[in-house]
Chains A and B, each alone.
Chain A
Amino acid sequence: QSVLTQPPSVSAAPGQNVTISCSGSNSNFKNNFVSWYQQLPGTAPKLLIFDTNKRPTGIPDRFSGSKSGTSATLGITGLQPGDEADYYCGTWDSSLDVVFGGGTKVTVL
């Protein structure tokens, strides 16, 4: 059971937009920033979003992050076949230190 709650899966056709939710609590999301990771099949996770809404160099602006209260959202616009992967949210928790969501599998139909 992960501290942060994500939907197990989302799917959409190429070109469509998807959002992935990540639900936390006051002990983590209230004051802290969120990070998101993309894990392509058989590879290590890659940082996609940090500080809730910032993209590392090289990450396309099709990926975006936001937070409201104790929930965060990853948005992907113009879904591509190469976006098919598992996505994880993460943050700092005042009691547990580093916590992750259970992951969301994105399927491109």
Chain B
Amino acid sequence: QLQLQESGPGLVKPSETLSLTCTVSGGSISNPPSYWGWIRQSPGKGLEWLGSLYYTGATHYNPSLESRVTVSVDTSKNQFSLKLTSVTAADTAVYYCARDGLDCGGSACTNWFDPWGPGTLVTVSS
């Protein structure tokens, strides 16, 4: 059974870089070939997709955050990571990692996230 777990600092100072890692267990990050994504949820708010990557390292990002977000993969460790630069208080949120079921074969795209990690709260404060 595939399981994901986020890890990283729970407190980041304004203007610094937020770095999180998602460890995948119960399966391989590259077999079957899959996308993997990061989603966040600000306190009391809805879901916001940050970015996703294919196991090969190909990425796509939320256009509103693209200048600050980087997602990368380490297949040897069965992990993928998120970096968000120049953070502000508005970046305070619970950050989730999840498998991304993106498939744009044919004329339509399907996209879903399953399973999700339990989430990790990151607070941006000095």
Contacts and interface: CB of A to CB of B under 8 A. Distances in A.
Interface of A: 2, 31-33, 35, 37, 43-47, 50-51, 56, 88, 90-92, 95-103
Interface residues of B, number: 29
Interface string B35-48: 00101000000111
A90 B62 contact: no
A90 B112 contact: yes
Nearest to B37: A98
A44 B109 contact: no
B59 to A, nearest CB: 11
B92 interface: no
Contact of B96 (A35, A45, A96, A99): A45
Contacts of A100: 46-49
14 contacts: A31-B108, A32-B110, A35-B111, A35-B112, A45-B113, A45-B116, A50-B112, A88-B47, A90-B111, A96-B62, A97-B62, A98-B37, A100-B49, A101-B46
